[in-house]
Chains A and B, each alone.
Chain A
């Protein structure tokens, strides 16, 4: 059974760095990529970036200067780090598996992140 689960701090101070972990099960990170997507309260979805099955990455150019995605295949974990957080970064952060048809075919439940002092 394919599962993804996000974890991380619920509250981050402005200007600090967000660190999130996506722990996956039911598939291998060397066979499938993982995306990060975020959803501000009451708003739509924004693709942040992808780490592919070969370990290469692709980032949304709007976030590229602040964003880093990495992984530990032995632990089946994907990591997101984003620096210089502002209040507009308040959102639910979701990880999603990159399916074989260039779509996100399985999603985590999401991690709520609030940027506030």
Chain B
């Protein structure tokens, strides 16, 4: 199985800051990577697919990048509604696997 390692596990940032979350795959996943946002008490929501494609309705302050085994999610100008847990997920090979999650809080 492809292992997905996310860092950091938790992150505290101030409103207006830029934050970056990293995701490392145990092998090349050829940009078959998605990012999901899970707000407290809610189900996950798709943010980004194919590493850098923004899902419909997702604010442009979110962006994804990366290739090969290394990927990142960047949030510009952090807003209060961005407090969530963020998961990466590879869909290159079965079983689809998720990263352990990054909990983003406001400082």
Binding site for B on A (CB under 8 A): 44-47, 58, 60-62, 94, 96, 99, 101-110
25 A-B pairs in the complex with CB atoms less than 8 angstroms apart = A44-B98, A44-B99, A44-B100, A44-B101, A45-B89, A47-B96, A58-B94, A96-B44, A99-B46, A99-B49, A101-B50, A102-B32, A102-B91, A103-B34, A103-B91, A104-B34, A104-B36, A104-B46, A104-B89, A105-B55, A106-B46, A108-B43, A109-B42, A109-B43, A110-B43
CA distance A106 to B46 in the complex (A): 7
Q: What residue of chain B has the Cβ atom nearest to residue A47's Cβ? A: B96
Count of chain A to chain B residue pairs whose CB atoms are closer than 8 Å in the complex: 54
- Which residue of A is nearest B94, CB measured? A58
Give the A-binding residues of B (Cβ under 8 A).
Answer: 1, 32, 34, 36, 42-46, 49-50, 53, 55, 87, 89, 91, 94-101
CA distance A61 to B2 in the complex (A): 13
CB-nearest residue of chain B relative to A45? B98
> Cα distance A103–B50 when bound, in Å?
9
